[in-house]
Amino acid sequence: MKSIRNRLSSLLCVASSWCISGAALGQVPWYTVLEQAPNPAVVTDAALRLKIVDSGFPWRVRDIGTGIEMLLIPAGTFQMGASPGDGDANSDEIPAHQVTLTNAFYMGKTEVTQAQWQAKMGSNPSYFGNKPNNPVEKISWNMIQDFNAATGLRLPNEAEWEYACRAGTTTAQYGVLNDIAWYGSNSEGTTQVVATKLPNAFGLFDTIGNVWEWCQDWYSSTYYTSNPITNPAGPVLGTDRVARGGRWLPDPIYCRSSQRTFGSPSSVASSTGFRVARTASFFWSISGVLPVSGPSTGGTLIRINGTSGTNFPNPPVVTIGGVAATDVVWVSPVLITVVTPAGTPGMSVVDVNGVSAESFYYRPSCDGDLDNNGTIDSADLSLVLLNFGDCSSSLTNQQPQEPMIFPMPEVAKPIPVKK
């Protein structure tokens, strides 16, 4: 049985053109969309592009809080550890084993720069300082926790990092080393401006070379086994944290997709920085569902509006009462139009790619008096879920409503409701 408060809410919904009576599942937006679909000139592999599109998430986004550009890494399966025939592999890179990541995530397009760090943290600890577009370094794993607490971002775990670095490749590097990485032979003894070498197949720059990149995991030299594993999070305990990707210093053998190193969480070095990640999640929400024209029992053209900051997916998948809508059109990040399925009742669950809200998409009665007895009262509550005549004319030319008083049971005090 609904509470009095919820009954009032239901009647108020009837008296308006739309109502959200359930909380949508989306989160507060943390990014703006730069490109919804992957650019074929960047993500040249058609299979990778399809994975990104099928995820339903935008490909290229900008984190609102930091300005960091991030790219979607779709869920997938890969071989983690030493590449076939890699003679430089160390004992802690074997055995290679199958890893499945079931959740898409976002990864920083580049290593975090000195400018991005300083904007949030107020100072620049880098040994090679005053180079705003070079990676920030001389930062410990512990220092990064403060940065992430201030931004809502996180470090990738080690499996996420290698999967993103490999980008579908199985070789020790994802390209010719001199073309993709700043390392001892070409770095001139310093870090270099990010994104000035070739990216990998996901569009990420400098995952190999420039600076080591801290990961979330504790380090263990014996953690790998030959057994397939899903969503590994690394050892439960340890004394050192993992870093990946190689560095600007000599020794190109460190610049490999499976190379692992480690350090105390409090240690710093001019060759160690980081790259941010964030779990992909839907954040759109439905603010209203408004009828446009047509019969109320189905075949109605409706507008699904998103709250400010919403980014509805494109293309959207929309159901009304669990039945697929037709003529679905993504108009903008905050507007979708669809035609309701035949026979849909006036109050149904409207769902956009997993985010839903229980909504009226037409007003069953032009004044909220469902049984037309001249009074808005509790008798109307039993009629809310039934089909009523179309009020499309009043919805497009709405008339002023009189103030409504909702009669309450004897034990309750009448509550006036403003217009």
Give the CATH number of the domain where residue 335 resides: 2.60.40.10
Most confident of 13-17, 335-339, 365-369, 371-375: 335-339
Residue 292: pLDDT band by 50, 70, 90 thresholds? Answer: low
User: Any residues with CB less than 8 A from the CB of 23 and at least 6 apart, and which?
Assistant: 357
Give the count of domains, the chain. Answer: 2
Q: Is 414 within the bounds of a domain?
A: no
Q: Do 103 and 68 fall within a single domain? A: yes
Residue 99 and residue 63 in one domain: yes
Question: How confident is the model over 61-112, as pLDDT tens digits?
Answer: 999 999 999 999 999 999 999 999 999 999 999 999 999 999 999 999 999 9
Residue 144: pLDDT over 70: yes
| Contact criterion met (CB below 8 Å) for 62 and 31 | yes
Residue with tokens 């809080």: 65
- Residue 267 in any domain: the answer is yes
- Given 240, 264, 279, the domain boundary residue is 279
262 pLDDT tier (thresholds 50, 70, 90) = very high
- Using the Cα atoms of residue 355, residue 13, residue 379 and residue 394 in order, give the sign of their dihedral: negative
Q: Could you tell me if residue 145 is inside a domain?
A: yes
- Residue 205: its pLDDT value, please? 98
Tell me how far apart the alpha carbons of residues 221 and 125 are, in angstroms, rounded to a whole number. Answer: 30
60: domain CATH number is 3.90.1580.10
231/293 same-domain check: no
Same domain, 312 and 354: yes
272-273 and 212-218 beta bridge pairing: parallel
Does residue 250 share a domain with residue 293?
no
Same domain, 216 and 144: yes
Which residues span the domain enclosing 180?
31-279
Residues 6+ apart with CB under 8 A from 332: 312
| 295 pLDDT more than 90 | no
Residue 290's pLDDT is what? Answer: 76
